Structure 1
């Protein structure tokens, strides 16, 4: 505990700020020295890229750890700590409070950016020195802008002087949860990982080297960022589901949209890079996707930190910060698009393919993903534009997003199944019909049968959702059967990249099943219940056993114990809570959930009523876990692809299909 006497204050916060200043200076050097070395042909200057990236990451880690220490020891002389913590806050939440608000989350953002730079320096030993210098120099430029933003407008080490409070405020009760520990760092790893992809694209443009080697260098980094984005989005959905007490898993919140948009574009980029590597096509398009993906991650940063929107996820409402981030966004996007406009025409693709080919299906895949991202962008920004123009306030609800997103998703899922089994350059309808006809028929029959089996009546939405999910699984399995030539024992011998693709596509199908079943067969009731009451919902009976107070480390709560029965068999007990946090008197609902693979039983408390009764919300949510299980499959598929031996072992590339007179002699990174 710290006193109000200025002379007895710890100097540790100044140490953290000094480390942040040093990181800024190193980031400037990381930008200037390697890029000057490339321009001057100075090998020594280019070689400084690696140690400078390591030094920047080290100083940023020191700064972040210092801020965490200030939280752990309750140093309320630091304004950020005094605002977002107190002595009663459990230690794990004190540490996660480091990124629980604007200043700390931004420090985490730039620290992870520094860590990505170290990863590039360590795992790109086979990358040509000139290319590595360009990549790390561009990453240094991005770091320079965001560290300057942190120092100028969002300093997490600012002091509360001359009077230091003896007790702090409190971390937002919504954030006092395990979700805060894992969700923001994972999602930020995805956001910031796109800076690597962006840096590779701009470096390739500057060097005039958009070839198969560049695509192969970029693919594992793109996949890594995509994996983190996938897991981060799934964790955010899961956290909102159990923490907000509504039982929903996706709300089309503007900040949720801000994470989904770069994920969609990065998914398109992964597929486009595959075409560039294998066929030498889509070069300019692939670079543009890399620019768009990183630009959307910066746009998400602007939306969260500018105060232009209202969201439970938003951190800041300071216009000065918004202007700064908008300026960074304009410089990065405008500068990269200018480079693209100048350089892209010189590296155009020259390969050919027929309209019925894998290339065409992958291009359609790309376009549909971009249409989906643009629809979400339009729905997110349109209300802000209308408000800015003084034309009133409007809101775009979930129905609009569903109307725009669902048809595109259906078409995308159908194309995924066809594209995975189609041939490069040219294919034939007759062959595709032979390969996929049985899968299409089975998907149609099972799609129609599913709602009849589940509810005894036809449901068009369920038929569509289950039909396309089954189609995608069967089409993927048909591709496996084709690859192993009917000998299933050969599956382990197939490449990790191929098996990862199949697993990721099956993950999409699993998520579609979860979304379809939850959206159409969830049951919910709001009911008054008192001790001794019971209520039946679907196949389950919820019995109110008792109510009473409980005490947590920094809150008091009313809790209710429920017994849950399936027929006459008790299957579990649930204890939802209504918490009141002592620091600020904030009230939070903590839902209780009984989990299984095929259904969730969800109980949350409403308001207290007379005679010991409570308003209760009871829900039965079929296949809820499948929504996130599909994301796990997708991430595992991406991980398998990333560890394919092509990316782990340096090897010389085959002749670049787009440049038949030259061999790509550079070796592969990672």
Structure 2
């Protein structure tokens, strides 16, 4: 009975989503305040109904209701309860329900936090989000319902959750990633509202900017968690593979980064208006494209959901309607917007424009590398793959150049900055960056390209702190009082830029200074790597809640001193009959010791993969700093105020 209730509330939510998508727009057209005011209650009811459906599905997993097809496919009575709950989004149907729930959550947040917005603006934004919700709820109900029953012959046992997903990463990674993905729909809704009203002034940029920053922060931590999860779970020691599904989340992140900077210029100086709107549309469309890639079945990936062609066609139609409709509206309205503000070649606007050009080019580079194999295959020209060599050779130089511009921008002034004054600020930090990087390169025996990359990272760090020092030392108040007066938005930018530099250091060192070896080891054997001694103490057998495992025992020492006792595992999952590798890691701020257990080679010997990875944690530390930067920017006090203008 409960699954039927969940299905029924989901159907009801579709009707309320349709009402939200139509009534406020009709009310705006007819200048009917009653219809405009309906947007908020419709949002609350729609969200409540979807939440009930989600709770029903979660409860079905918790009580092992295998009469529900989706539960029987993705759960098992032996599965620990925390994995049963997270298994709700472990497959296509449940993860899509989570997607719709998060979309409703964002819509509800706009209804609550947007109470100070003009009524017509708030209602139109909610209506646009209602249109998006209608599309995804229809997709869920017509092609991917998670409440299909297996009656009267329901199985006594489920097929189990994919062993790869039986990890804490499943609990936190998808929700964070979806919060970012879906959150960009709010910026999209503000942009479409601005186009509908035909007045793209700075007000809409101010209203959209905190929502965009929060979405970007969630997507940043979602991607970071995904990288960390792949690193320790897949057993090969890598943190990024340029997998098409990884790219699907990376592209809206790049476009969203450009959008944040473009919104800043539109809000501050009233320029880039049309471009900012187009970026908001482009970022949201990339989120939809990512949904298509993951759920259409066109990709074979460890991250992708197995899906039938019907689902792919539905998403493609939805993508076409959303993209086509928004771009048509843009084509009709954007020509009416003209910016009369000018700026110099060394003004902050110019650096942010270069920032936008590079970020957009980087996004298109990743888009080309991701879609080109699919296009070639669809045209019948055979199967090709575009991998790391392409992305690293094309993407990396642009990323380094972006960071150079990123560091210069905050030091320049709006409108125009005398070149001599800017050059004076840059020379000393440049010298420090080049010299200190050269010392590190010599100490770690790195190459010329590493010196360039490290110099850029140090350049960003030095200029960021230098810019802060200039700001807090101005005036007579003193450093601490002056530092307290700087807005949260500025400190958010500082954290985000520092995070980029920290991640670059991690990427550089783990790429050029990692050591690894694959060795055959029997009990008592010792292997040496990077000054560490790895002693194999044999394998112990044990049983988990739904698996059996062989656990290696490896003692690590350095210069005769004990360092760590690592226990990599080889697990056999009973229900699916799959074997999984569980790496064991001794982590630290400056290096990771990473060991995975390979195959049983007989006679007590095992294949052992050993990695020593310097600074790998800095990659994710940078992601955390960037996330906090985005959240801090969104908390700036001035975003709580509304100018009173109507767009």
What is the TM-score normalised by the length of structure 2?
0.98
Q: CA–CA distance in 2 between the matches of 1:192 and 1:118? A: 13
Is the CA contact (8 Å cut-off) linking 1:601 and 1:621 kept in structure 2?
yes
Q: Which one of 477, 482, 505 corresponds to residue 465 of structure 2?
A: 477
Asked whether 1:58 is paired with 2:28, we answer no
Give, in whole Å, the separation in 1 of the partners of 2:19 and 2:316.
24
Deviations 1:163-189 (A, max 9, x none): 111111011100000000000010001
Matching of residue 156 in structure 1 with residue 146 in structure 2: yes
2:635 — aligned with what?
A: 643
SS where residue 455 of structure 2 aligns?
A: helix
**Could you report, residue by residue, the CA deviation over 1:321-354 in whole angstroms, capped at 9, with x for unpaired residues?**
0000000000000000000000001122221111
CA distance in 2 between counterparts of 1:316 and 1:200 reads: 34
Is 1:597 aligned to 2:589, yes or no?
A: yes
Which of 427, 450, 459 is matched with 2:447 structurally? 459
Where do residues 335-350 of structure 1 align in structure 2 (5 Å cutoff)?
A: 335-350=325-340
Q: CA deviation at 1:488?
A: 3.4
* 2:605 is the counterpart of 1:617: no
Q: 329, 344, 358: which one pairs with 1:354?
A: 344
Match of 2:145, SS? coil
Structure-2 residue corresponding to 1:7: none
* Alignment match, 1:488: 479
> How far is 1:161 from its partner?
2.4
Q: In the TM superposition, what whole-angstrom CA distance separates every residue of 1:559-595 from its partner, at most 9, and x where no partner exists?
A: 0111111211101110000000000210000000001
Of the candidates 204, 212, 218, which is equivalent to residue 214 of structure 1? 204
Q: Please give the alpha-carbon distance, in whole angstroms, between the structure 2 residues aligned to 1:329 and 1:112.
A: 19
| Aligned ranges 1:390-429 → 2 under 5 Å | 390-429=380-419
Q: Is the contact between residue 103 and residue 154 of structure 1 (CA under 8 Å) also seen in structure 2?
A: yes
Taking the aligned partners of 1:488 and 1:387, their CA distance within structure 2 comes to: 61
Structure 1 residue 24, shift from structure 2 partner: 0.3
Query: 1:513 maps to what in 2?
Result: 505
Q: In structure 2, what is the Cα distance between the partners aligned to 1:341 and 1:33?
A: 25
Residues 117 and 642, structure 2, Cα contact 8 Å, conserved in 1: no
Q: 1:666 Cα deviation (Å)? A: 5.3
**1:369 alignment counterpart:** 359
- Give unmatched runs, 5+ long, in structure 2: none
Q: Which of 68, 75, 89 is equivalent to 2:58?
A: 68
Larger deviation: 79-88 or 460-469? 460-469
Q: Deviations over 1:640-660 (max 9, x none)?
A: 111111113x253xxxxxxxx
Q: With structure 1 as the length reference, what TM-score do the two structures score?
A: 0.95
Equivalence for 1:468: 456
After superposition, where does 1:137-148 map in structure 2 within 5 Å?
137-148=127-138
Moved more, 523-532 or 348-357: 348-357
Where 2:608 maps in the other structure, the secondary structure is strand
Q: Is the 8 A contact 1:450 1:462 kept in 2?
A: no
Once the two structures are superposed, what CA deviation does each residue of 1:461-496 show, in whole Å capped at 9, x if it has no partner? 220121000000111112111111265323232111
> What secondary structure does 1:412 align onto?
helix
- Give CA deviations for 1:67-120 in whole Å, capped at 9, x if unaligned: 011111111111000111110011111111111010011111011000000000
SS at match of 1:604: strand
* Alignment counterpart, residue 583 of structure 1, candidates 575, 586, 605: 575
Distance 1:349 1:319 in 2: 45
Alpha-carbon contact 1:436-1:478 (below 8 Å) kept: no
1:73-472 residue pairs with structure 2 within 5 A?
73-455=63-445, 458-472=446-460
- Alpha-carbon separation, structure 2, partners of 1:380 and 1:54: 38
Equivalents in 2 of 1:49, 1:584: separation in Å?
Answer: 47
- 8 Å CA contact retained: 2:163, 2:580: yes
The question of whether the paired residues in 1 share the 8 Å contact of 2:194 and 2:204 is answered with: yes
CA–CA distance in 2 between the matches of 1:213 and 1:623?
A: 43
SS of residue matched to 1:631: helix
- What is the alpha-carbon distance in structure 1 between the residues aligned to residue 143 and residue 341 of structure 2? 49
- Aligned mate of 1:523, from 515, 519, 526: 515
8 Å CA contact retained: 2:369, 2:386:
yes
Rounded to whole Å, the distance in 1 between the matches of 2:499 and 2:455 is 15
Separation of aligned partners in 1, 2:133 and 2:507: 38
SS of the counterpart of 1:124?
helix
Cα separation, 1, equivalents of 2:163 and 2:512: 32
| Alignment CA distance shift 1:19-1:308 (3 Å) | same
Contact 1:284 1:349 in 2 (8 A): no
Partner of 1:565: 557
3-state DSSP of counterpart to 1:125: helix
One of 457, 477, 491 as aligned partner of 1:499: 491
Which residue number in structure 2 is paired with residue 656 of structure 1? none
- Pairwise CA RMSD of aligned residues? 1.1
Count of residue pairs the alignment pairs up: 643
Tell me, yes or no, if structure 1 residue 631 matches structure 2 residue 619.
no
Unaligned ranges ≥5, structure 1: 1-10, 653-663
C-alpha distance in structure 1 between counterparts of 2:545 and 2:164, whole Å: 16
**Distance between the aligned counterparts of 1:209 and 1:246, measured in 2?**
53
1:403 CA drift (Å):
0.8
2: CA distance, partners of 1:618 / 1:100: 30
Matched, 1:21 2:11: yes
1:356 Cα offset (Å): 1.8
In the TM superposition, residue 551 of structure 1 has moved relative to its aligned partner by 0.8
* CA deviation vs aligned residue, 1:597-642 (integer Å, no higher than 9, x gap): 0000000011001211100000000001000000111111111111
Structure 1 position 357, deviation (Å): 1.1
Q: CA deviation at 1:209?
A: 2.3
| 3-state SS of paired residue (2:435) | helix
Q: 1-side partners of 2:274 and 2:144: how far apart? A: 37
C-alpha distance in 2 between matches for 1:128 and 1:610: 73
